[in-house]
Amino acid sequence: MSFAGTYCVIMDPECSKLLPALCAVLADPRQPVADDTCLEKLLDWFKTVTEAGSSVLLLQENPCLVELLFQVLKPQDLSSGVLSFSLRLAGILAAQENCFQYLQQGELLRGLFGESGPLGRAAWTAPTVRSGWIQGLRSLAQHPSALHFLVGCGALGTIFSLQGDPSLFVASAAGQLLAHVLALCMRGQAEEHPGPQASDWPTCAQQIVDHVEESLRSADSPQVTQALNVLSTTFGHCHSPWTQALWVRLSPLVACLLEKDPVPAAHSLVDLLLSAARSPVLSADCGLWETLAQTLSHLSCTQAGPLALGVLKLQACPQTLRAQAFGVLLQPLACVLEAAAQAPGLPGLPAGTTGDSVVVDTLLSSKSACVGLLCQTLAHVELLQPMPQRPSPWPQAPLLGAAVAVLRFCNGSAAPTSDVGGRLCVILVGCVRVQRAALDFLGTLAQGLGPQELVTQVLAVLLEYLKSPDSSPTVLKKAFQAALRWLRSSPKPSGCCDMDPHSQQFLRELLPVLQKRLCSPCWEVRDSGLEFLTQLTRRWGGQAGFRHTLLASEVPELAEQLLRDPESYVRASAVNAMGQLSSQGLRATSASPEYPGGQQKSLLLDLLHILSADSEGFPRRAVMQVFTEWLRDGHAEVAEDPEQFVARVLQVASQDLDWEVRAQGLELALVFLAQTLGQPASYCPCTMAPPEVAPPGRLAQALQALCRVRLFEFAFRALFDCDRPVAQKSCDLLLFLRARAAPCGNPQDAGSSPNVASAEAALQRWRAGQQGQPQEDLEPEAVMAVLRSVDLEGLRGALAESSDHVEKSPRSLLQDMLATVGTLVENEADCY
């Protein structure tokens, strides 16, 4: 059991003491509970308590709880919140059979859940009371006694009617309760594998199934939906053999639904069929596949899409059904392809997939229908693409063709000859939603290849979108992402690691576009342009072809100018881009007009300036990330004098008000630490593998270096940082260091040094939250002594707890609730 769990389960005496007062408050209609969330927390607590121990014991030790429940029986104006709470509490308590009997002794449960309870009173109009009633029963229905009780008090009829409750929460909970009760009824029968004969089934189950059957026969669509939802829940949660009997019994009724036009409750029907198909019990032959096939052909294309996707995701299912589902799924795209095609015929699509005229009609019926169907289809196929169970052979080429066709319809560059094409063009032109969906889809398709001719078309259409002034910023971002994925997937020419000639050509055309985009007045565009540049450089920065093309353009220079962009996100992206360009030696070499001397200004100084002066957090965080990366990769400018670099960065970062900057500073410190100790920085302090201890001579040198860059001051101060992640990181860093340095140095030696005292004093000050700098530099010995004296493990444990662990205790909850009531009463008194 978890630490938190044990903490809660014990009903500590303090809580027991507070409970009677609280119950009295709750039972008093004159003292309304202001905050419903307190009641929810209270229920959570009772649930944990009852799950861990005996409920009867709990009631016996705290009779006030039963008293509270009896209070509810009295006809008085209790608030609906308290009423609902009591019903749910009673349910939680009665979940244990002996406690159920205990409560039943006083006819308490019948009073609460029977007709004489809230059910018959005015309070029933409040949805929260109805919801409490259902949830109470849901908790209570765990054992045969409960089942008898349910039947006995006539609750089933109420649950049936609550399925149509105006509150959706209540209605859905009622459906779930029915499924739960049905499963409970059948639990005893599970072993015997009952047949479909009604006589074999317990009465209660019989009643429920009859009700479901009746609902399925109803002409009223909401009622059909309710029945389907109950069945979906049942097949989804219960995989006992009897569910197969249930399916055999009900599937003819489900099949009947398909004969109606339009098919009622199609959405719920799809849910039911999929949950039945996923059930391991039903996968044997019981007409399910036939029903699925029928449904696929009867539903409208918009409704059939999710079903088709669901079928294709199934682990085991007949090949013919899969083929049919895939055909249904691809139909809208087939229509688009057909409409865009100059010549008839759709090579490459699975046999039988054609642009169905019904689908065409749907596409052309209205803009919203067309957009909805296309976006849905694109999203579905996109989901399917990376799955292992996706259909094989995968029609990569037609899908690429369809994506390109959709994108061309959307930007008006398609010149369809067919009438359908012309009308699609009118509907889709300029539609941003479809553009975004199609670009995402196109990006996903980059995982597979296609014929070169199509890939050329893909790159061409991407370039059109990137060039077009009409592309919205979000569309542009997606186009950049898709372009990156296609560049990544391009085949590498054998024998060298450079880009293939097509990609190179694409890049040559792309860079002028990128150049223009970096000058866009719209900051989102500049930002996505920079992100693209960063990714591009990270991937191909080392390749001659790319380097040559990039350096011939003005892109690096423009990126550098964007370090001074007015928008902070853009500055942050510019920092990342420049960090990457500089790492790869790709900064513009030509003298810019601003520095006619030809002397290139140091990027390091630029970034340090941003770190110390930028008013926004994002650019400063980006700078810290770049610096960390530079240090790790041995960037030329850093490698000149790493100590000086780290010292300066840590000095600036320690002053930063943004905790993420300080945390990133610790990351950088860790990299430096590892480098100085000559060890990989990949050490994770959490794993308890014995660290590799540094040889003493080297360690002493390293510690000197760490002191010189004032790393310890930074880390010690961070240890008491008011932001927990910073303190945690610092703790990890110091633990790492101590593990490395532990065997060397002698505590006794160090303890006498005067510097230790001053270091400890400084530590005290930091702990107390004072930010004064220690006057003297810390000495390595003093540091090690302090390190050994601080209980870092304890600190780490304390930091690991969430900051509100004290406030979350049940005692605190009870006190809070009593306190608020107290103030309410006081306020009331003040009024008089």
- The identity of residue 320, as a single letter, is T
Identify which range of 357-365, 433-441, 446-454, 466-474 contacts another protein by CB under 8 A.
466-474
> Does 443 participate in binding another protein (rule CB under 8 A)?
no
52-73 burial: b if 16+ Cβ within 10 Å, else e: eeebbebbeebebbbebbebbb
The distance of closest approach from Cβ of residue 596 to another protein in the complex, given in angstroms and rounded to an integer, is: 11
Pick between residue 107 and residue 470 the one whose CB is nearest to another protein: 470
Pick between residue 379 and residue 432 the one whose CB is nearest to another protein: 432
Pick between residue 557 and residue 637 the one whose CB is nearest to another protein: 557
Q: Tell me the Cα Rg of the chain.
A: 35
For another protein, the binding residue among 521, 596, 697, 772 (CB under 8 A) is 521
Pick between residue 271 and residue 565 the one whose CB is nearest to another protein: 565
For another protein, the binding residue among 474, 561, 679, 820 (CB under 8 A) is 561
Please tell me the distance from the alpha carbon of residue 65 to that of residue 57, in angstroms, as a whole number: 12
DSSP 183-216: HHHHHTTGGG---S-GGGS-HHHHHHHHHHHHHH
Pick between residue 32 and residue 412 the one whose CB is nearest to another protein: 412
Identify which range of 45-53, 55-63, 465-473, 658-666 contacts another protein by CB under 8 A.
465-473
For another protein, the binding residue among 53, 287, 412, 774 (CB under 8 A) is 412
What are the tokens at 767? 């702990």
For another protein, the binding residue among 415, 613, 636, 742 (CB under 8 A) is 415
Q: CA dihedral in degrees (541, 543, 549, 555; nearest 10)?
A: 0
What are the tokens at 254? 């489900």
Please tell me the distance from the alpha carbon of residue 454 to that of residue 329, in angstroms, as a whole number: 22
> Does 515 participate in binding another protein (rule CB under 8 A)?
yes
Cis preceding-peptide flag for 393 (omega within 30 of 0): yes
Identify which range of 43-51, 426-434, 535-543, 691-699 contacts another protein by CB under 8 A.
426-434
User: Residues touching another protein: how many (CB under 8 A)?
Assistant: 33
Closest by alpha carbon to 56, among 84, 96, 24? 96
Residue 687 phi, psi dihedral angles, 5° rounding? -75, 140
The distance of closest approach from Cβ of residue 414 to another protein in the complex, given in angstroms and rounded to an integer, is: 8
Restricted to residues 232-271, the positions that interact with another protein (CB under 8 A) are: none
The distance of closest approach from Cβ of residue 561 to another protein in the complex, given in angstroms and rounded to an integer, is: 5
For another protein, the binding residue among 52, 286, 429, 608 (CB under 8 A) is 429
- The identity of residue 594, as a single letter, is E
Please tell me the distance from the alpha carbon of residue 831 to that of residue 31, in angstroms, as a whole number: 15
Identify which range of 458-466, 559-567, 669-677, 785-793 contacts another protein by CB under 8 A.
559-567
For another protein, the binding residue among 468, 489, 612, 753 (CB under 8 A) is 468
Pick between residue 183 and residue 410 the one whose CB is nearest to another protein: 410
Contact criterion met (CB below 8 Å) for 346 and 354:
yes
For another protein, the binding residue among 57, 256, 387, 426 (CB under 8 A) is 426
What are the tokens at 395? 């029609």
Pick between residue 430 and residue 493 the one whose CB is nearest to another protein: 430
Pick between residue 172 and residue 561 the one whose CB is nearest to another protein: 561
The distance of closest approach from Cβ of residue 477 to another protein in the complex, given in angstroms and rounded to an integer, is: 15
Q: CA dihedral in degrees (35, 36, 37, 38; nearest 10)?
A: 70
Identify which range of 139-147, 193-201, 425-433, 693-701 contacts another protein by CB under 8 A.
425-433
Pick between residue 254 and residue 405 the one whose CB is nearest to another protein: 405
For another protein, the binding residue among 54, 520, 568, 789 (CB under 8 A) is 520
> Does 414 participate in binding another protein (rule CB under 8 A)?
yes
> Does 738 participate in binding another protein (rule CB under 8 A)?
no
Pick between residue 470 and residue 640 the one whose CB is nearest to another protein: 470
Restricted to residues 295-354, the positions that interact with another protein (CB under 8 A) are: none
Please tell me the distance from the alpha carbon of residue 190 to that of residue 811, in angstroms, as a whole number: 43
Closest by alpha carbon to 563, among 596, 591, 605, 521? 605
Identify which range of 47-55, 264-272, 551-559, 711-719 contacts another protein by CB under 8 A.
551-559
Please tell me the distance from the alpha carbon of residue 256 to that of residue 265, in angstroms, as a whole number: 13
User: Coil, strand, or helix at residue 591?
Assistant: coil
> Does 166 participate in binding another protein (rule CB under 8 A)?
no
> Does 474 participate in binding another protein (rule CB under 8 A)?
no
> Does 84 participate in binding another protein (rule CB under 8 A)?
no
What are the tokens at 738? 């101590």
Pick between residue 385 and residue 520 the one whose CB is nearest to another protein: 520
Pick between residue 610 and residue 649 the one whose CB is nearest to another protein: 610
Closest by alpha carbon to 176, among 219, 223, 231? 231
Q: CA dihedral in degrees (554, 559, 565, 567; nearest 10)?
A: 130
Say how many residues make up the chain: 832
> Does 361 participate in binding another protein (rule CB under 8 A)?
no
Please tell me the distance from the alpha carbon of residue 292 to that of residue 161, in angstroms, as a whole number: 30
User: CA-based angle 205:206:208, to the nearest 5?
Assistant: 65
> Does 68 participate in binding another protein (rule CB under 8 A)?
no
DSSP label at residue 122: G
Identify which range of 164-172, 317-325, 350-358, 550-558 contacts another protein by CB under 8 A.
550-558
Restricted to residues 563-602, the positions that interact with another protein (CB under 8 A) are: 564-567, 593
The distance of closest approach from Cβ of residue 625 to another protein in the complex, given in angstroms and rounded to an integer, is: 24
What are the tokens at 699? 């360690």
Pick between residue 246 and residue 581 the one whose CB is nearest to another protein: 581
> Does 619 participate in binding another protein (rule CB under 8 A)?
no
> Does 717 participate in binding another protein (rule CB under 8 A)?
no
> Does 552 participate in binding another protein (rule CB under 8 A)?
no
Contact criterion met (CB below 8 Å) for 86 and 42:
no
Contact criterion met (CB below 8 Å) for 221 and 262:
no
Restricted to residues 633-662, the positions that interact with another protein (CB under 8 A) are: none
- The identity of residue 462, as a single letter, is L
For another protein, the binding residue among 29, 75, 252, 422 (CB under 8 A) is 422
Identify which range of 91-99, 230-238, 422-430, 480-488 contacts another protein by CB under 8 A.
422-430
Separation in Å, CA 101 to CA 108, 138, 244: 10, 17, 34
Pick between residue 89 and residue 424 the one whose CB is nearest to another protein: 424
For another protein, the binding residue among 33, 558, 623, 731 (CB under 8 A) is 558
Please tell me the distance from the alpha carbon of residue 599 to that of residue 578, in angstroms, as a whole number: 18
DSSP label at residue 490: S
Please tell me the distance from the alpha carbon of residue 199 to that of residue 38, in angstroms, as a whole number: 47
- One-letter-per-residue 3-state SS of 68-92: HHHHHHCCCCCCHHHHHHHHHHHHH
Identify which range of 370-378, 384-392, 468-476, 479-487 contacts another protein by CB under 8 A.
468-476
The distance of closest approach from Cβ of residue 568 to another protein in the complex, given in angstroms and rounded to an integer, is: 12
Query: Which residues make up the interface to another protein (CB under 8 A)?
Result: 412, 414-416, 421-423, 425-426, 429-430, 468-471, 515-517, 519-523, 525, 554, 557-558, 561, 564-567, 593
